[in-house]
Amino acid sequence: MSSDSTDEKEAAPARHRAKRSLSRRLVIVAAVWSTVALVAAALVLVALYREAAEREFDARLDVYLRAIIGEMAGGTPEEPAAPGNLGEPRFDLPASGWYWMVTRETTGKVVFASASLFGDQLALPAPAPGAVMRSSITGPRGLELRVVQRTIIFGEAAAYRIAVAGATDELRSREADFAGQVALTLIVLGLGLVGAIVLQVRIGMKPLVALRASLSDVRRGDAEAVDEDLPPELAPLAQELNALVRSNREVVERARTDVGNLAHALKTPLSVILNELRGRDDPVAAKVSEQAELMRSQVQHHLERARMAAQRRVIGVSSDVEPVLDRLVRAMAKIHRGRGIDVAFEGGEGIRFRGEAQDLEEMAGNLLDNACKWARSSVDVRVARMESDRGGPRFTVTVTDDGPGLSPDEMDEAVKRGRRLDETVPGTGLGLSIVVDLAKLYGGDLKLARDSGGGLSARLTLPCL
Rg of the chain over all Cα atoms, to the nearest angstrom: 48
CB within 8 Å of 259: residues ≥ 6 apart: 303, 306, 307, 310
Q: Of 265, 280, 311, which closes a domain?
A: 311
For the chain, give the longest Cα–Cα distance. 156
pLDDT the model gives residue 389: 60
Query: Residues 27, 102: one domain?
Result: yes
Query: Residues 203, 270: one domain?
Result: no
Structurally, the chain folds into a number of domains equal to: 3
pLDDT, one tens digit per residue, over 205-232 is: 888 888 888 887 777 677 778 888 888 8
Q: Report the SS3 class of residue 397.
A: strand
pLDDT the model gives residue 244: 83
Mean pLDDT of 140-145: 84
> Is the per-residue pLDDT at 142 higher than 50?
yes
Query: Residues 332, 304: one domain?
Result: no
Q: Could you write out the DSSP letters of every residue in 348-367? A: -TT-EESS-HHHHHHHHHHH
pLDDT the model gives residue 314: 53
pLDDT the model gives residue 224: 77
> Is the per-residue pLDDT at 277 higher than 50?
yes
Q: What is the mean pLDDT of the chain?
A: 80
Range of the domain at 400: 319-463
Q: Are 38 and 189 in contact (CB under 8 A)?
A: yes
Query: Residues 202, 116: one domain?
Result: yes
> Is the per-residue pLDDT at 262 higher than 80?
no
Interstrand relation of 158-167 and 98-104 (parallel, antiparallel or unpaired): antiparallel
More confident residue, 136 or 14: 136
CATH code for the domain of 375: 3.30.565.10
Query: Residues 202, 297: one domain?
Result: no
Query: Residues 416, 456: one domain?
Result: yes
Query: Residues 290, 325: one domain?
Result: no
> Is the per-residue pLDDT at 171 higher than 80?
yes
pLDDT the model gives residue 424: 42
- 3-state secondary structure string, 366-391? HHHHHHHHHCCCEEEEEEEEECCCCC
More confident residue, 283 or 363: 363
pLDDT, one tens digit per residue, over 106-117 is: 777 888 888 888
pLDDT the model gives residue 178: 93
pLDDT the model gives residue 81: 86
Is there a domain that residue 225 lies in? Answer: no
Mean pLDDT of 64-71: 88
pLDDT the model gives residue 263: 67
Q: Could you tell me the CA-to-CA distances from 292 to 200, 284, 288 in Å, in that order?
A: 70, 12, 6
> Is the per-residue pLDDT at 40 higher than 90?
yes
> Is the per-residue pLDDT at 12 higher than 70?
no
Interstrand relation of 342-347 and 144-154 (parallel, antiparallel or unpaired): unpaired
pLDDT the model gives residue 9: 46
Stated pTM of the model: 0.50
Q: Of 279, 311, 343, which closes a domain?
A: 311
Range from 72-76, 139-143, 166-170, 298-302 carrying the lowest mean pLDDT: 298-302
- Give, rounded to a whole angstrom, the gap between the first and last alpha carbons of the chain: 30
> Is the per-residue pLDDT at 416 higher than 80?
no
Query: Residues 57, 157: one domain?
Result: yes
Confidence of residue 51 (pLDDT cuts 50, 70, 90): very high
Query: Residues 98, 179: one domain?
Result: yes
Is there a domain that residue 238 lies in? Answer: no
Mean pLDDT of 318-326: 88
